A and B are shown apart, each in its own frame.
Chain A
Amino acid sequence: MFFKSSNITARIFDRQICTPAPGTSVHYARKFYENLVPSYTVYEVECPDHSFRKFTDDGQYLISFSRNQQELIVYRPRWLSFSCKDEDCDNHDLPLKAKRFESFFTQLYCVPLASCNELICKDFFLYMESNKFGLFATSTAQVHDAPAVGGAVQGVPSIEKITFHLLRLEDGFVLDEKVFCNDYVNLAHNLGVFLYDDLLTIVSLRYQIIHILQIRDSGNLVHVRAIGEFCREDDELFLNSNAQGMALSDKNKQQQLLGNHIYNNIHQAQPNPGNSFLSGIKQRLLSFMFRGLWNEETDDTLRVQKIRQKFYFHFQDYCDLIIWKVQFLDRHHLLIKFGSVDGGRQVSRHADTHPAFVAVYNMDTTEIVSFYQNSADELYMLFEQFCDHFYATSRNSMHMNFISSHSNNIHALEQLRSIKDKASSSSQFMKKMLSSLPFSCQSLSPSPYFDQSLFRFDDKLISATDRHKQSTDHPIKFILRRHPYSLRFKIKPGPEAGSMDGRAKKISWFLFHPVLPLALSVQQTLIMQPPLVNISVVNIHFRR
């Protein structure tokens, strides 16, 4: 076989004459990213004091929020433009004007989103690529010991007002808003909201409702259905018409109570059909479990025994399960995580103390398709083999479908297998891996520099997930996976000379442009002694 050169000119000539193998055109084009790398760093760029959130997945905008979390500022990434008259340009240092933030980013607009007592959630942002709409969230302060009224779950905090804003990112025009009052939605890192194509699911933890909304091309947020107490659209009508009939007979018995406003109190004080039913989705779940256990045995006595042991013994625990997180698997199927009220926000090391369950729910037939405990072998096999299908990405956005995972990349799979072999207990390992299900929406960067078949890097220091990482003073190396297996470029967050105080805790996060060889790194030093201050250092990494 002939050896393909990794020289960029040779690759360009090859591209003229060779057709890539079927289905590999994206991978073939990505090989050019081995040659075009963000190897040059501009340290400690003077930039506006904003918290930079991320680049949009098509690379058109950089989203940032003002430090007081009241305004949204959107930039357009652009490239340097200056010329050099000398012949030996490469050896010249960059002119000073090239090292400014404004040379790389143009501010498009600044829009106030939050009113006086609200704050923008700076960890929340969803992008609808097809229409270039952005979804942002503002909320008032959390109330922790909120009383559980009106069907709310005890133990979940309450927020007086959560507003979702849909903006057209071209000009910052606010297209629509959706308000939730006295509710709780997990906004941090898009945990409680999932966007698939034009469908949006918002999980109201407090009232245990999965709201499905559709984003229309006109920019309207249209409520499609609410899954929780009722599964089908006409369930509520049916139950209300029956409940009214029964309540009327109750009312006749209670004629000594005066005033129409007491009618509502009857519903809460007296046991009536509305309160004694389990919620619709819970009923679906319990009947699915019952049917599954019933079908496992053919002998009647064994069946009853099994039902008693595995179902009725834990019946109250199953009834007390609440919905914690939801994602779309496709337009009709949801993956729902159920857990106990205490253990929902599981940290992976505490995964074993609170059991959690994952269910696949078909919204159209309102049936539960399957139900697993989060340590189930079967669920882990699905996760290992089809991980990239759990990252449900719309078919419209092509490059989002090429993010490396252990199901589509041999190097990532080898890494996973080595962790699995080293793990002391395989069930603990599986629980830890499965605690990431359901996945959060748009939490991975599509940048080709995170493609595991191109580069090898330390994923404790940097990875495609947009979470903060521990920062060290050493640069993060990106090494080629293919011949010649050499160090290709380094990303060093923080000041060039390293920070002065080696003991201070530093965290960093990275914003990689999805297409261009351009990245921002932000390093924050948390100084514990007074004055308590966070020093942020922003570096720009690009291909010079």
Chain B
Amino acid sequence: MDSVLGNWPSYDPHNFSQLRTSDPSRSSKMAPATYHSIHNRDVPPADQVINTEHKNILLREIYRRAEEKLTPKRAASDNLIPEHGSKQPRVST
């Protein structure tokens, strides 16, 4: 039986008998389509450095809540634009 699996042993000799392999000559010509992005938002800036945040998650949460409280309450219209609309690289302290 000429299969991709060769003559590997199996419990039941009738297993894999129905398998039809794809034609090897055809498969090499058809490369799967790859995606190329048409916008440049995905390109990271050349000087981006990714580091571990030094503050642990508890302190990050405490600081985040503290900053929320300290900024005086803005009018409702100001809050329509989210602060982190587009991701910016963040310098770790």
Which chain A residues lie closer than 8 Å to B72 at the CB level?
Answer: 295, 298
Question: Is A369's beta carbon under 8 Å from chain B?
Answer: yes
Known: A298-B72, A298-B73. A370 touches B66 (CB 8 A): yes
For A459, the chain B residues whose CB sits under 8 A away are none
User: Which residues 60-87 of B have a CB within 8 angstroms of A?
Assistant: 61-63, 65-66, 69-73
Asked if residues A390 and B58 are in contact (CB atoms below 8 Å), the reply is yes
Encode A276-301 as 1/0 by CB contact (under 8 A) with B. 00000000000000011001101000
| A360 with B69: CB separation less than 8 A | no
How far apart sit A329 and B66, CA to CA, in the bound complex (Å)? 16
Which residues does chain B contribute within 8 Å of A333, judged by CB atoms? Answer: 59
Q: Which residues of B contact A370 (CB under 8 A)?
A: 62, 65-66
Lowest 6 CB-CB distances: which A-B pairs, in order?
A389-B58, A386-B58, A370-B66, A295-B72, A370-B62, A369-B66
25 A-B contact pairs sorted by A residue (CB < 8 Å): A295-B69, A295-B70, A295-B71, A295-B72, A296-B73, A298-B73, A329-B58, A329-B59, A330-B55, A330-B56, A330-B59, A360-B62, A369-B62, A369-B63, A369-B66, A370-B62, A370-B65, A370-B66, A378-B65, A382-B61, A382-B62, A386-B58, A386-B61, A389-B56, A389-B58
Minimum C-beta distance from A246 to chain B (A): 35
Nearest CB of B to A115, in Å: 42
Q: Is B57 an interface residue (CB 8 A)?
A: yes
User: Shortest beta-carbon distance, B78 to chain A, in Å?
Assistant: 13
- Find chain A residues with CB under 8 A from B69 CB: 292, 295-296
The secondary structure that dominates the B interface is helix
CA distance A298 to B72 in the complex (A): 7
Indicate whether A389 sits within 8 Å of B57 (C-beta atoms), given known contacts A292-B69, A298-B72. Answer: yes
What residue of chain B has the Cβ atom nearest to residue A368's Cβ? B66
A354-396 CB contacts (< 8 Å) to partner B: 360, 369-370, 378, 382, 385-386, 389-390
**Once the chains are docked, how many angstroms separate the CA of A389 from the CA of B56?**
8
In the complex, which of the residues A369, A378, A386 contacts B57, with contact meaning CB atoms closer than 8 Å? A386
For B66, B70, B72, which residue has the most chain A Cβ atoms within 10 angstroms?
Answer: B66
Distance in Å: Cβ of B62 to nearest Cβ of chain A: 5
Assembly CA distance A509 to B80 (angstroms):
58
Q: Write out the residue numbers on chain B whose beta carbons fall within 8 Å of the beta carbon of A292.
A: 69-70
C-alpha gap A385/B65 in the complex (Å):
15
B65 proximity list for chain A (CB < 8 A): 370, 378
CB A294 to nearest CB in B, in angstroms, measures 9
Q: Which B residues lie within 8 Å of A360 (CB)?
A: 59, 62
In the bound complex, CA of A175 to CA of B69 (Å): 47
| Cα A385 to Cα B66 with chains together (Å) | 17
Q: Once the chains are docked, how many angstroms separate the CA of A199 from the CA of B69?
A: 31
Q: How far is the CA of A330 from the CA of B93 in the complex (A)?
A: 14
The CA-CA distance from A295 to B58 in the complex, in Å, is 24
Cα(A292)–Cα(B66), bound, Å: 9
How far apart sit A292 and B69, CA to CA, in the bound complex (Å)? 7
Chain B 2-26: CB-based contact to A (< 8 A → 1; otherwise 0)? 0000000000000000000000000
Complex Cα–Cα for A385 and B59 (A): 12
A residues less than 8 Å from B62 (CB atoms): 360, 369-370, 382
Smallest CB-CB separation from A390: which chain B residue?
B58
CA distance A378 to B68 in the complex (A): 13
- Shortest distance between the CB of B35 and any CB in chain A (Å): 27
A378 to B57, CA, bound (A): 15
A312 to chain B: closest CB distance in Å? 20
Measured CA separation A291–B72 after assembly (Å): 10
The residue on A at minimum CB distance from B75 is A298
- Contact partners of A329 in chain B: CB under 8 A: 56, 58-59
Closest to B72 in A: A295
* Complex CA–CA separation, A397 to B73 (angstroms): 43
Residues of A within 8 A of B57 (CB): 386, 389
When C-beta atoms are compared, the residue in chain B nearest to A389 turns out to be B58
Which B residues are CB-close (under 8 A) to A390?
58
Q: Hey, which chain A residues are within 8 Å of B71, CB to CB?
A: 295
Give complex CA distance A33, B73 in Å. Answer: 54
Residues of B within 8 A of A378 (CB): 65
Chain A: minimal CB distance from B52 (Å): 11
B-chain residues with CB within 8 Å of residue A389 when the two chains form the complex: 56-59
A378 to B66, alpha carbons, bound, how many Å? 11
- List chain B residues, Cβ under 8 A from A330: 55-56, 59
> CA separation between A357 and B80, bound complex, in Å?
35
Extra pairs beyond A329-B59, A370-B62 (6, CB < 8 Å): A291-B70, A296-B69, A369-B63, A370-B65, A378-B65, A389-B59
Q: What per-residue 1/0 map shows which CB atoms of B23-64 lie under 8 Å from chain A?
A: 000000000000000000000000000000001111101110
User: What separation, in Å, do the CA atoms of A385 and B62 have in the docked complex?
Assistant: 12
CB-based nearest B residue for A388? B58
Chain A nearest Cβ from B29, distance in angstroms: 37
Chain A residues with CB below 8 A from B70, complex form? 291-292, 295
**CA of A330 to CA of B58, assembled, Å:** 10
Docked complex Cα distance between A360 and B60 (Å)? 12
* CB of A300, distance to nearest CB on chain B (Å): 12
Q: Using Cβ atoms and an 8 Å threshold, which residues of chain A touch B61?
A: 382, 385-386
| Least distance between B58 CB and chain A CB atoms (Å) | 4
Chain B residues whose CB sits within 8 angstroms of the CB of A369 once the complex forms: 62-63, 66
